[in-house]
Amino acid sequence: MGTLDDKRFLFVTGKGGVGKSTVCAAQALALASHGKRVLVVMCNAKERLSAMLGSQPVGADVVPVSNNVWAVNINPDQALDEFAVIVLKSRTIAKTIDSKYVRGFLRAVPGMHEWAMLGKAWWHTTEKLSSGSYKYDCVIFDAPATGHGLDMLRVPQVISEVAPPGLLRRFADDALGLFRDTKRSAVVLVTLPEEMPTQETIELAHALTNELKMPIGRVIINCVLPPLFTKEEREALGLLVMTDSTSPGEVAIESGRMRAMRERVQGESLARLSSELPVPPSYLPLLFEDACQPHAIAELAKRLY
């Protein structure tokens, strides 16, 4: 498994519900165990990181959530207001224009809330301590699901291409510079060993690589089942015809048939993801317990060291 230890920014995305936030929590613990100072940034999420790490709730201010791990749940309106203040401060016009006009203008520009959140995550990568070293070695961004995640990344690209020279464009250029730097930044794709998430992940990887020029650093296949059956057994079970009998023997056979089908789909998905993506995948097991618990996250983190 390639290391993410030297990365300053991780953009974690994938289809809805595949385990992005779970991976963010586990990856943060894995990096922290290597002595890295890590900030997990959520964008206006229904926050469950605190349950996963057994910490205090996470709001719009950065709080410590584990040893060497901090977290923040960005509020888009607040982030946009902060952004407006930064833009205003940089212009002499700020002295004469009421900030509400700038705020109103920024709110009206499509994608600006998304950019305020992503831009704020990027800004956290630039924060420094009084010693001069970076406040966080790595910022992990718990990005929105597939399409929204892509749209969010397109905003700085558009600003960089069309905005006149100025602070707005400089932020976008600087952030894109980081996001596209293979040495300092990586996308972490999270997926499941199933047909639809596999297809979506392959398409997402193409868009990220070809259109957005962002490096894919890790592909994590989450909820992988240990196979129970051999290929021959799966084929034999696949030939059985489903019955609606409720006798214990028939119910057991039907369970076996379903499991064999799931293993077959999993095998096909793993093969596709291995051959069609630019990095070899990493695997996280399906836990047969509530994965939203500190001990479960610690268990998953061990697989990401």
Ligand X SMILES: Nc1ncnc2c1ncn2[C@@H]1O[C@H](COP(=O)(O)OP(=O)(O)OP(=O)(O)O)[C@@H](O)[C@H]1O
In the complex, the smallest distance separating the C-beta of residue 89 from ligand X, rounded to whole angstroms, is 34
CA 60/CA 41 separation, integer angstroms:
10
For position 292 contacting ligand X by CB under 6 A, the verdict is yes
Which string of x and - marks every residue 98-137 that binds ligand X (by CB under 6 A)? Answer: ----------------------------------------
User: What are the strands, taking DSSP E only, across 75-197?
Assistant: 138-142, 185-191
Smaller CB distance to Mg ion: residue 15 or 20? Answer: 20
For 117, the token pair is 């959140």
Smaller CB distance to ligand X: residue 21 or 66? Answer: 21
Taking CB under 6 A as the criterion, which residues in 262-291 touch ligand X?
Answer: 284, 286-287, 291
For position 27 contacting Mg ion by CB under 5 A, the verdict is no
Contacts of 119 (CB under 8 A, 6+ apart): 79, 83, 156, 171, 172, 175
Contact in structure between 213 and 274 (CB atoms under 8 Å): no
In the complex, the smallest distance separating the C-beta of residue 10 from ligand X, rounded to whole angstroms, is 14
In the complex, the smallest distance separating the C-beta of residue 25 from ligand X, rounded to whole angstroms, is 8
In the complex, the smallest distance separating the C-beta of residue 145 from ligand X, rounded to whole angstroms, is 5
For position 21 contacting Mg ion by CB under 5 A, the verdict is yes
Contacts of 116 (CB under 8 A, 6+ apart): 76, 79, 80, 82, 83, 106
Q: Which does 116 bind (CB under 5 to 8 A by kind): ligand X, Mg ion, none?
A: none
Nearest CA to 71 among 85, 56, 58?
Answer: 58
Among 2, 5, 6, 16, binds ligand X (CB under 6 A): 16
Contacts of 73 (CB under 8 A, 6+ apart): 42, 43, 44, 45, 47, 49, 58, 59, 60
CA 89/CA 33 separation, integer angstroms:
39
For position 22 contacting ligand X by CB under 6 A, the verdict is yes
Summarize as ranges the residues that interact with ligand X (CB under 6 A).
16-22, 145, 222-223, 284, 286-287, 291-292
Q: Which residues contact Mg ion by CB under 5 A?
A: 20-21
